[in-house]
Each structure stands twice: as C-alpha cells, then as structure tokens.
Amino acid sequence: MKKRFIYICLVFILTSSFSFQNNNIINAKSDFQIRIKRGETILVKYAGKSRSVRIPSGIDSIGDSAFRNNKKVQKVIFSKSVKEIHANAFANCTNLKKIKFNINFKRIINQPFVNCKKIKSIHITKKVNYISEFGFVGLTGLEKVTVSKKNKHFKKHKGTLYTKKLKTLIVYPKNKKNISKYIIPKQTKTVNACAFSDNKYIKKIIIKGKINCGEDSFSNMKSLKTVQFKRAYKSPVPFYNCRKLKEVKLAEGTEQICEEQFYNCTSLVRINIPKSIKFIGKRAFRGCKNLQLPLLDKNVVLEHPIK
C-alpha cells in the first residue's frame, strides 16, 4: 500500500511539473519510464520523440542507456532534481546538440555520451564533484568546456578540463581549433582515457611531469608531429595510430617503451633511446616503416622484433 501511494504521488508530480512552450508536449506518464530503487527515482527509458526534452522534476538520475539510439532528440535540459547520469545514457544520440546541467547536478558516471558527435560545448556547473575517467568519451565534436567559478573540484586551464589543482587532465576538446601546441603542466599526474584521442589540430605535445595515462589517451591524433617528454613516464603512454607523428623525445630515466606504444605511427623517423631503457614491448614500433632506431644496449629486453 505504501509503495502504491509513493508511485501515485510520483506520477502526479511528473505529470504536473512538466510542460513545453511549443506544440510538441511530452506526456510524462507514457514517455518517461521510471524505476524507484533505494529511495532514488531513476529514468530508465525515454520513449518520446521530441527534439527538445526537459527531464521532469522528481527524477534523481538518468539511468543506463535511457536515451540510447534516440535519433530525434537535439536538446536535453535537466530539472533541478537530476543529480547524475549513468553509462550510455545518451549513447548514439547522433543529433543531440545541447546538454544543460542544473545547479544541483553532481556526477557524470562511466561513458554517457558515446558517439554524440554534435555536442560542441559543455558547462560544468558548481556542484559537479565527480567525472569518471570515461566521462567524455565519444564527444568528437566538442570545441569548448567551461566550468563554474564556484565549482570546488574542477577548473578550465588553457581550454582543457582538469581537476582543481591540475593533477588530472580529464579532457581536451577534440574539435578545438587554432591551437597547434599543447603543454601538459608538471603538476599533472594523470591523463584520462581518450583525453586527446582523435584530436584534429594539435601538432606538438610537451609533457612536463611524470604521468600515468588511461586507455587511448593520445591515440589516433590526426595532426600530431612531435612529442617531447621532460620527465620519465610512469605507465604506458599510447600514441598508436598517430600517422603523422615524426619525432619523439624521451626523457632520461625512462625505463620502458611499452607494447604497441607507437604502433602504426607510419611517419615516425626519429626517437631517442635513453640509456635507462630496459625493455621494449611487443609491436612497440610495428608499422613504423621509416624509423631507423639507434643502436640498442645489449641489456635491453626485446619482447618482439622492432618492426
């Protein structure tokens, strides 16, 4: 009886709180499928066909795949009750152009925007306190990220989204124009997965600190020609399939070149091998047909032929 009462109240709230100013009115009862779990109201499926959608008041989170494969939606506005979005929430919404978070929004979980190619800008509101490593994967059209000055956890630095003290680089907008060189500051310890992947415009990257990198963090960059490490990296830094990459400068103290690190970098012609190098992984230089490596120290362990 109690659960039924809660459900009736919720349906009333959803239906009464939602309206559009145009003629395309969403019927909350039929188009918004919800589930209540541990006191949280989750939108599990949006079944409507509107191009502009306002999430009704009373919904706490947008669940896994809630809008997945919706080709109609172009704009989504969060009501003040929405606090988080989950994996694949907007995956393959190929016409989605605008997401508007509310002032109470807090968490971007997993990879909600896979293949959302038309989103050009995102604003991080003041209460956002968590963005997962894969939070912005798939936003290949992203040109700009802005952050509320009142946000205590994140900041924009040189057009790039970082955690507040620059320790983690979350994402560099893949379609940001007019920047050909990017310097990752020495304070940065982590570069998130796919942070620079598929970037079309950067030609040179300088990495000042000792970094750990997520999956595909620098892979498939379209214009990258030069990479310079000022300090030894801690974990694999993947540049595979950067086909215009010509020169890599590794820092002394670097101990390994990892599996497939420069795989299919077909234009690579120069890379120094510091005396500190102890290990070169499988297929590290596979496809680097123009590369002439310097003479390797006899103690370097090769897992696989160089080419």
Helix (H) or strand (E) holding 280: strand 279-280
Query: Is there a single domain that holds both residue 95 and residue 140?
Result: no
Do residues 167 and 65 share a domain? no
* Cα separation of the two ends of the chain: 70
Residues 181 and 150 in one domain: yes
Residue 304: predicted pLDDT: 55
**pTM for the full model?**
0.85
Identify whether residues 115 and 134 lie together within a single domain: no
Q: Render pLDDT for 162-213 as a digit per residue (tens, 0 to 9).
A: 999 999 999 999 999 989 999 999 999 999 999 999 999 999 999 999 999 9
CB 57 within 8 A of CB 34: no
CATH code assigned at 95: 3.80.10.10
Of the candidates 64, 80, 89, the one whose C-alpha atom is nearest the C-alpha of residue 125 is 80
192 and 277 in a common domain: no
DSSP designation for 235: S
Same domain, 228 and 252: no
112 and 175 both lie in a single domain: no
Residue 26 and residue 79 share a domain: yes
User: pLDDT tens-digit profile of 203-260?
Assistant: 999 999 999 999 999 999 999 999 999 999 988 899 999 999 999 999 999 999 999 9
194 and 215 in contact (C-beta within 8 Å)? yes
- 97 and 27 co-located in one domain: yes
Q: Judge if 135 and 230 occupy the same domain.
A: yes
Residue 100: domain span: 1-119
Q: What is the enclosing helix (H) or strand (E) of 205?
A: strand 204-207
63 lies in the same domain as 48: yes
**Residue tagged 């989950």 (tokens):** 86
* Last residue in a domain, options 89, 119, 149: 119
Q: Are residues 230 and 244 in the same domain?
A: no
How many structural domains is the chain composed of? 3
Domain with residue 224: its CATH number is: 3.80.10
* Per-residue pLDDT reduced to its tens digit, 63-101: 999 999 999 999 999 999 999 999 999 999 999 999 999
